[in-house]
């Protein structure tokens, strides 16, 4: 089966030989050297690497004491990447009740009557099953109960109840990574009693988890650091260009410490603004050139280069957008570096007042010629239909053609007036 989507290589030279290295895939081992040479003597050349899934891992299931209870399956072998574990069910002995499962590190991985049957899950970071030993725990039956509520970023996501427990019994709860709404969460803290008290109504323990969906080393992969202590800086392109390089950065802006025994986050340091690395390159489409960087949601903030971006510091997620301007002329390619490149030839940029520009002529700017052999007081009425209009200028020489237009208008008005006066004399 296909383990990884195909990757396409572009901008290669026909007839040249290139070496490709197989990517690492968790849970699998590459067959052979992991390298192949390919000669580009045809279009659509393909390279296929073959992998073998790693050896099965062994998972064991134990009871803390056979006098308290047993398990239905002692051991099983699981393929690390494609395995489907069966799991094992805890069977309490008479007079006992199941409480929880722990892994080989002593971490609680499942609690409550509804989780007597435990099935291993893949490691959230490596996405493979790992060898481990899980132990079922039991306690003497009693007439008390407790409840554990799990909150994910403040939202109640799961409630576990345990009945028939004795006074003083430890309240079992998980601290390992949890999946909620298909996202990874890490343990943060608890509120409430850790042991069963005499009043079952007061035996409520609240367990808080916080989102850990991304990491500073591999954005998009959990790293054990709560996302609320990190910010993400993204680099994108607006129309007519693209951005390549490290387009997503994750920065930790607050340090924290966990209690060595409980694992709870006990100390959070001050916020330290993060500075962009800006290890990116912009590439403009044909007839365009890089213009400036802006911030999504704050278009008025502009940066001329990535060096300018590196001078800023942020405490919240931010997305930078590369903007491109039309420069005309021939084709334009990349900017040749991370600073955004330069504009195209100034001669190819449209100038103000050029072809197609709107020109407004005020009525007072158009001269009216005085009729021959008349005085300014001897006015002649001219019908609108007899007055020709000069066409507006169609080039960028607005001032020169505007003057010519006014002169021609005056001459044409005078000719029209003379012709009309001659007609009147002929008729008389």
pLDDT digits (tens, 9 = 90+) for 178-225: 999 999 999 999 999 999 998 999 999 999 999 999 998 889 899 999
The pLDDT confidence band at residue 379, using thresholds 50, 70 and 90, is very low
Domain boundaries, the chain: 1-53, 57-211, 227-254+271-348, 363-427
Neighbours of 155 (CB within 10 A): 10
The pLDDT confidence band at residue 366, using thresholds 50, 70 and 90, is very low
Computed over every residue of the chain, the mean pLDDT equals 83
Query: By the 8 A CB rule, do 118 and 101 touch?
Result: yes
pLDDT at residue 241 is higher than 90: yes
Question: 9 is written with which tokens?
Answer: 């290589």
What string of DSSP letters covers 162-212? EEEE-TTPBPP---S-EEETTEEEEEEEEES-SB--S-GGG-EEEEEEEE-
Strands (E), 80-182: 88-92, 96-102, 108-111, 117-118, 132-140, 144-152, 155-165, 178-180
Region of poorest pLDDT, from 68-82, 118-132, 334-348: 334-348
SS3 state at 7 = coil
Strands 75-78 and 108-111: unpaired
Kindly report, residue by residue over 5-17, the tens digit of the pLDDT: 777 777 777 778 7
Cβ neighbours of residue 20 under 8 Å, at least 6 residues apart? 9, 35, 36, 37, 38, 47
Using the CB atoms, write b or e for 38-72: b if 16+ within 10 Å: eeeeeeeeeeebebebeeebebbbbbeeeebbbbe
More confident residue, 25 or 109: 109
Question: Which is nearest to 288 in space by CA: 246, 221, 335?
Answer: 335
pTM of the model: 0.63
How far is it, in rounded angstroms, from Cα 58 to Cα 120?
11
Strands 288-295 and 298-303: antiparallel
Let me know how many helices (H) and strands (E) the chain has, helices first: 2, 26
């Amino acid at each position: 089966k296909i383990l990884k989507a195909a990757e396409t290589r572009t901008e290669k030279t026909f007839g040249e030989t290139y070496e490709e290295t197989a990517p690492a895939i968790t849970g699998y081992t590459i067959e052979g050297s992991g390298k192949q040479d390919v000669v580009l003597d045809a279009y659509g050349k393909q390279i296929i690497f073959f992998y073998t899934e790693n050896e099965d891992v062994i998972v064991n299931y134990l009871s803390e004491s056979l006098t308290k209870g047993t398990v239905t399956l002692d051991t099983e072998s699981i393929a690390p990447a494609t395995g489907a574990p069966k799991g094992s069910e805890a069977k309490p002995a008479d007079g006992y009740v199941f409480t929880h499962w722990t892994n080989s590190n002593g971490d609680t991985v499942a609690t409550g009557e509804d989780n007597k049957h435990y099935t291993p899950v893949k490691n959230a970071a490596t996405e493979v099953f790992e060898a481990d030993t899980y132990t079922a725990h039991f306690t003497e039956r009693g007439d008390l109960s407790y409840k554990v509520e799990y909150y994910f970023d403040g939202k109640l996501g799961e409630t576990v109840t345990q009945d028939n427990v004795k006074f003083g019994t430890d309240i079992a709860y998980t601290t390992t990574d949890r999946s909620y709404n298909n996202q990874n969460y890490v343990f943060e803290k608890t509120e409430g009693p850790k042991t069963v008290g005499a009043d079952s109504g007061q035996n409520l323990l609240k367990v808080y988890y916080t989102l850990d969906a991304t990491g500073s080393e591999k954005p998009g992969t959990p790293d054990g650091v709560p996302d609320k202590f990190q910010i993400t800086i993204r680099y994108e392109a607006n129309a007519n260009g693209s951005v390549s390089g490290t387009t997503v950065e994750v920065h930790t802006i607050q340090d924290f410490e966990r209690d060595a025994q409980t694992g709870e986050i006990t100390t959070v340091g001050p916020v330290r603004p993060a500075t962009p690395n800006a290890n990116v390159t912009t590439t403009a489409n044909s007839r365009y050139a890089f213009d400036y960087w802006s911030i999504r949601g704050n278009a008025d903030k502009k940066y001329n280069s990535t060096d300018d971006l590196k001078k800023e510091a942020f405490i919240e997620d931010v997305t930078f957008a590369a903007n491109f301007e039309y420069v005309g002329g021939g084709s334009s390619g990349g900017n040749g570096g991370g600073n955004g490149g330069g504009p195209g030839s100034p001669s190819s940029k449209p100038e103000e007042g050029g072809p197609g520009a709107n020109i407004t002529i005020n009525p007072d700017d158009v001269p009216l010629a005085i009729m021959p052999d008349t005085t300014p007081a001897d006015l002649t009425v001219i019908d609108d239909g007899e007055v020709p209009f000069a066409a507006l200028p169609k080039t960028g020489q607005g001032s020169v053609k505007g003057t010519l237009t006014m002169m021609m208008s005056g001459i044409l008005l005078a000719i029209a007036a003379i012709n009309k006066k001659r007609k009147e004399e002929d008729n008389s």
